[in-house]
Chains A and B, each alone.
Chain A
Amino acid sequence: AQSVSQHNHHVILSEAASLELGCNYSYGGTVNLFWYVQYPGQHLQLLLKYFSGDPLVKGIKGFEAEFIKSKFSFNLRKPSVQWSDTAEYFCAVSRNTGFQKLVFGTGTRLLVSP
């Protein structure tokens, strides 16, 4: 069975600090990888995704993530966070074909202080 681990449950940063959120997954086959964000009072939005190809993917709002297959990791990064990045971030994995239910990590709450 697939599983996803997010190591940081709560992160507090000051504006302009760099961000890295860890995500590791467990699955024996080919996977799709995602980071979703949920801003306060809003619904889940896709930040970025990895299907295949270049393991360094860029998403919206300056976020990027790197897929390291040997480590089963898909860490999210942003060089300089803003107050508006305050949100909950979810890493998710799915199979690569067919029935592609998302298996989510437990989420990381990011608070950026101005």
Chain B
Amino acid sequence: GAGVSQSPSNKVTEKGKDVELRCDPISGHTALYWYRQSLGQGLEFLIYFQGNSAPDKSGLPSDRFSAERTGGSVSTLTIQRTQQEDSAVYLCASSPYTGTAYEQYFGPGTRLTVT
């Protein structure tokens, strides 16, 4: 079946511009996570959505970062006024939340380059 998809696969933007990154989770998966993979920080958690509950935003590095999830499916991560340190690969993962242990399935990522 279809896996997690993300778009665009690559994004180059100028410093100060806003960007939107999209994630389509696996159908039926109610849990959705965003992570960031960068040279300096490794793989780090950004934000978590579970069903209709309020998201856990504890990993967002600044208030320039926000995310939403519409209809419990597609999610968009928005970075406002991008900075060079935002350059990274942004990964989305989804899971069939069961209340107990589960694994996360990752998408291919969006490589963001801020010039």
Residues of chain A touching chain B, judged by Cβ–Cβ distance below 8 Å, are 32, 34, 36, 42-46, 49, 51-52, 90, 92, 96-107
Contacts and interface: CB of A to CB of B under 8 A. Distances in A.
A107 B42 contact: yes
Contacts of A49: 103
A103 B103 CA distance: 13
A96 B100 contact: yes
Nearest to A103: B45
B101 interface: yes
A102 B50 contact: no
A38 B103 CA distance: 16
Contacts of A102: 33, 35, 43, 45, 93, 104
Contact of A97 (B35, B101, B107): B101
Interface string B90-115: 01010100011111111111000000
Q: Chain B interface mostly helix, strand, loop or mixed? A: strand
B43 A104 contact: yes
Interface in B29-67: 31, 33, 35, 42-45, 48, 50, 56, 59
Interface size of B as a range: 20 to 34
B101 A99 contact: no
A34 B95 CA distance: 14
Nearest to A51: B101
Contacts of A36: 106
A58 B93 CA distance: 23
Given A43-B109, A100-B102, A102-B45, 12 more contacts: A36-B106, A43-B106, A46-B103, A46-B105, A51-B101, A96-B101, A97-B100, A99-B48, A100-B95, A101-B48, A102-B35, A106-B42
